[in-house]
Amino acid sequence: MITIPSHAAPISANGDFGKATKDPAPVICNSCNGAIQGRIVTALNKKWHPEHFTCGSCRQPIEGAKFHQHDGGVRCVPCYTRHHSPRCHACGDPITDRVIQALGVSWHAHHFVCGGCRKELGGGGFMEQAGRAYCSSCYADKFAARCAGCTQPIVDKAIVALDAKWHRDCFTCNKCRNPVTDSTFSVMDNKPLCGKCA
């Protein structure tokens, strides 16, 4: 089963980031409680000195207007990505866009590929074998039981007879080649015979 969880998008600070204030009343910084003169950062409905609106991880001023809220604080986009984004099982890098959850781990969409043909599996179905994902075609080719009549993979219902598995259309009388549909049949040289030919 594949789930594609939503990934938190960065929040934008309001439009007066970096602009000088023209308010006659002093604006108070949310961090130092000092009056702000000159440039103001307005974010999360609060006002800040530009040097006090900092990332909770690296403590650097948040340059630009994009950031993430996390655990009651703010994180710059690089720190949030580095510390809080899911990591791709294939490459180990943070996933900043669409996340594929499959086989108990997270993947970049372009790294979640068939273990046989290497085509992207995307958000579609897949079959699992020994901890690897396979498209239905590769799974059938590599792991499905083979028909005793035609040797092709059996991907749906099979007839089990004569210590082998058969496609319904391949389980035919060895003499007349008509399908053997009765539950009882004869055997000659380990091949089925219909009631008429027996």
* 123-150 pLDDT tens trace: 678 989 999 999 988 988 888 889 988 9
Residues 173 and 154 in one domain: yes
Per the domain annotation, does 4 fall within a domain?
no
Residues 89 and 78 in one domain: no
Of the two residues 53 and 179, the one the predictor is more confident about is: 53
Residues 108 and 93 in one domain: yes
Domain count, the chain: 3
Residues 45 and 90 in one domain: no
Q: Give percent above pLDDT 70 in the chain.
A: 87
Residue 15: pLDDT over 80: no
Q: Give percent above pLDDT 90 in the chain.
A: 34
What's the mean pLDDT when you consider all of the chain? 84
pLDDT value for 12: 55
Of the two residues 28 and 184, the one the predictor is more confident about is: 28
Of the two residues 64 and 178, the one the predictor is more confident about is: 178
Q: What is the rounded distance in angstroms from the CA atom of residue 136 to the CA atom of residue 114? A: 9
pLDDT value for 132: 92
Residues 78 and 98 in one domain: no
Q: Last residue of some domain: 67, 82, 97? A: 82
Q: What is the rounded distance in angstroms from the CA atom of residue 168 to the CA atom of residue 121? A: 30
Residues 99 and 139 in one domain: yes
Per the domain annotation, does 1 fall within a domain?
no
Range of the domain at 175: 144-198
Residues 26 and 78 in one domain: yes
Per the domain annotation, does 59 fall within a domain?
yes
Q: What is the rounded distance in angstroms from the CA atom of residue 139 to the CA atom of residue 116? A: 8
CATH code (residue 53): 2.10.110.10
pLDDT value for 123: 67
Convert the pLDDT of each residue in 56-106 to its tens digit: 999 999 877 788 888 888 999 888 888 888 999 999 999 988 899 999 999
Q: Last residue of some domain: 124, 143, 162? A: 143
**Dihedral over alpha carbons 26, 28, 32, 38 (to 10 degrees):** -60
Per the domain annotation, does 182 fall within a domain?
yes
Per the domain annotation, does 5 fall within a domain?
no
Residues 20 and 75 in one domain: yes
Residues 52 and 115 in one domain: no
Per the domain annotation, does 38 fall within a domain?
yes
